[in-house]
Amino acid sequence: MIQFIIRRLIYSVAVIVGVSVFVFVITHMLGDPARMMLPLESTPAEVEAFRDAMGFNDPILTQFWTFAKNAARLDFGDSIWQREPAMDLVMERLPKTMQLVAIATVLSVVIAILLEKLASLRPRSLLDRVCTVGSLVGVSMPDFWLGLILILIFAVQWHVFFTSGYGGVRYLVLPAITLAARSIGQITLITRSAMIDELSQQYMITARGKGLSERAAVVNHALRNATIPIITLSGWQIARMVSGLTVAVETVFAWPGIGLLAIQAIQRRDLPLIQADVFVVALVVVVLNLVLDIAYGLFDPRIRYS
């Protein structure tokens, strides 16, 4: 087990290093970072002075060394837009994104399992069909668009919730539902598929044979076994939310998390902030994957040795 954890740790560090190299290549070697950050009307002399000040005139390897040294200390320089350390800005926004992601995850897992529990008790019923069609539609909708439609209905028409901003429950509900919608669809589809596998297993015949009610057999035996793929999928969904889905949803609801921050940094061409944001997101995803993998290793010994 220790060996497994160590192997996973080394791998995670490799991913972080890979992401940093990638971020460096993107920001320093595709295009000209100085022209990028300065206003369009700045003179060539100003651009040159800025290049000197930022070290963009150094050999590329020297630049990379400085970048790597600073990145190891989680220092990506000051944000050009806010004139504060970029890392602080990102860390300040991170909890707000995590709050949204946590609520959306709980929401999607609970709703998906509830729906599937009802649907698999009555296969091919109206509810089962509605669930399947509904989850396909949920998976096919652009989530930012769903957010806008929810705003139209609940904020503009009925005034139940606020259109955008950060705060209590009335701000939180719409973005959380928007973020959860796709996961609900995906988890329901996968649960359905897993349940079909489980329902045709031998132990279901035994369960029914020993006189268990259909309900008890489905809920206590089949659904319990089907939870493993559900856990896998929801872990994967969390990573997907953090690493991208929040960008559009936070933009729609002006939710001040790291997704919105990424867009703001990109619109202001604030390279240090972009670097810090991408790096932190990668770090969160990697840590999440690490925790999930170790959790699996604990639960399922087969995974440890593969």
Partner 1 sequence: MSGDAVVIPPVQPRMGLLERYPRLRQTRLLGRKLRADKVALSAAIFLLVLVFVSVFASYVAPHDPTEQNLMLRLRPPAWSAKGLPEHLLGTDPLGRDVLSRLIYGSRVSLIVGVMVIAISGAFGTVVGLVSGYFGGQVDNILMRIVDLQTAFPGLLVALAIITMIGPSVRNIIIVLSINGWMVFARMIRGTTLALRSSLFIDGARCIGAGHSRIIFRHMLPNLASPLITLGTLELARIILAEAVLSFVGMGIQPPASSWGLMINEGHAYITMAWWLVTFPGIAIALTVLAVNLLATWLRAVTDPMQRQKQFMPRAG
Write down the residue that tokens 């089949």 correspond to. Answer: 222
φ, ψ of residue 224 in degrees (nearest 5): -65, -40
Q: Is 14 in the site for partner 1 (CB under 8 A)?
A: yes
With CB under 8 A as the contact rule, which of the stretches 76-84, 168-176, 223-231, 260-268 interacts with partner 1? 260-268
φ, ψ of residue 85 in degrees (nearest 5): -55, 130
Q: Is 169 in the site for partner 1 (CB under 8 A)?
A: no
Task: Give the closest residue to 93 by CA, choosing from 79, 112, 110.
Answer: 79
What whole-number distance in Å separates Cα of residue 44 and Cα of residue 49? 9
Binding test (CB under 8 A) with partner 1, winner from 90, 94, 181, 248: 248
Cα 274 to chain centroid, rounded: 17
Q: Is 287 in the site for partner 1 (CB under 8 A)?
A: no
Q: Is 144 in the site for partner 1 (CB under 8 A)?
A: yes
Q: Is 151 in the site for partner 1 (CB under 8 A)?
A: yes
φ, ψ of residue 122 in degrees (nearest 5): -130, 75
With CB under 8 A as the contact rule, which of the stretches 38-46, 58-66, 95-103, 276-284 interacts with partner 1? 276-284
Binding test (CB under 8 A) with partner 1, winner from 9, 18, 52, 287: 18
3-state SS of 201-245 is CHHHHHHHHCCCCHHHHHHHHHHHHHHHHHHHHHHHHHHHHHHHH
Residues that bind partner 1 (CB under 8 A): 11, 14-15, 18-19, 22-23, 26-27, 30-31, 36, 120-124, 128, 136-137, 139-142, 144-146, 148-149, 151-152, 156, 163, 192-193, 195-196, 199-200, 208, 214, 218, 242-245, 247-248, 251-252, 262-263, 266-267, 269, 274, 277-278, 281-282, 285-286, 289
